[in-house]
Homo-oligomer: A and B are copies of this chain.
Amino acid sequence: MPVAEKSAALTLSKGLDILKYVQEHPGRTIAKIASDMDINRSTAHRLVKTLEGHYFIQQTPDGRGYEVGLGVLPPAATQLDHNPVRIASIPYLNTLAQDTGQRVNLGVLLGGDVLYLAGIEKPSLPNVYSRFGKVAPVHCCSLGKAILAMMSADEVGELLQNKTLERYTDNTITDRDALLSDLTATRRRGFAVDEEEHIDGTWCVAAPLMNSRSRPIGAIGISGSDRSTIIDSAEKVSSVAKVISHLLSPNVAL
């Protein structure tokens, strides 16, 4: 979980780890944070107070613990507003939602996980800001598989290096080789399919967004509870993904 770069600034690194920890475990006390993260209590105290001074974390209303602070919002808004993949995709997400009547999602890789950048929950009333920031495992959501399918086996291997393919449902692919062959099929097919592999009763299809150098930089997909509707819409998703990819291509790099 902690991205240990060699010769990194230890204190900064620990502070950021605390921020992540607090995000995932809201309401914990300093003592609890310290013991869970194997940091000395007084050290944790100082780091927490520093983060608090910058408004990155704050005390919970009851004053008993800590949670993510308001200070993270301005950077996040900046990131969202400047994100080229997101900007290029949003208009098409709306049309896709109209065309398919299903939930639509846009995701990219963050570390070894899929990060949702935008989503439309209720196709009836488009609200593209909803549901950003959630992360999902790469190996069992269609967005993740769509992206992985466009990477070499080596790259995939490296990405999954120190991850276990955790099981979420009976259909979750937990075997590396099985995943790799699924990715091959995905590549041939042109889109990824999630057959209740992450959440029971939810099917998804997704297609990758490619940049000018044929690298996957994200994926769009739809999800819903009616299998045939989802599968039948795969071509639509795929063609929209190609349109967005072309839009992204003229840009210099990434």
Contacts and interface: CB of A to CB of B under 8 A. Distances in A.
A151 to B, nearest CB: 18
Contacts of A73: 76, 79-80, 110, 115, 117, 132-133
Interface in A217-254: 251-254
A51 B110 contact: no
B46 A9 contact: yes
Contact of A11 (B3, B9, B108, B135): B9
Interface string A74-103: 111111101010000000000000000000
B110 A50 contact: no
A5 interface: yes
Contacts of A251: 61
A11 B15 CA distance: 9
A253 B63 contact: yes
Contact of A9 (B20, B50, B135): B50
Interface in A101-140: 108, 110-111, 115, 117, 125-135
Contact of A62 (B13, B61, B75, B253): B253
Contact of A79 (B16, B68, B80, B82): B68
A28 B49 CA distance: 29
Interface of A: 3-5, 7-17, 19-20, 23, 26, 46-47, 49-51, 53-56, 61-63, 67-80, 82, 84, 108, 110-111, 115, 117, 125-135, 251-254
6 contacts: A5-B53, A15-B15, A16-B50, A126-B127, A128-B129, A129-B129
B61 A69 contact: no
The 9 closest A-B pairs by CB, nearest first: A77-B133, A129-B129, A76-B76, A61-B254, A12-B15, A11-B11, A5-B53, A73-B133, A8-B50
A53 B13 CA distance: 9
A76 B84 contact: no
A222 B128 CA distance: 22
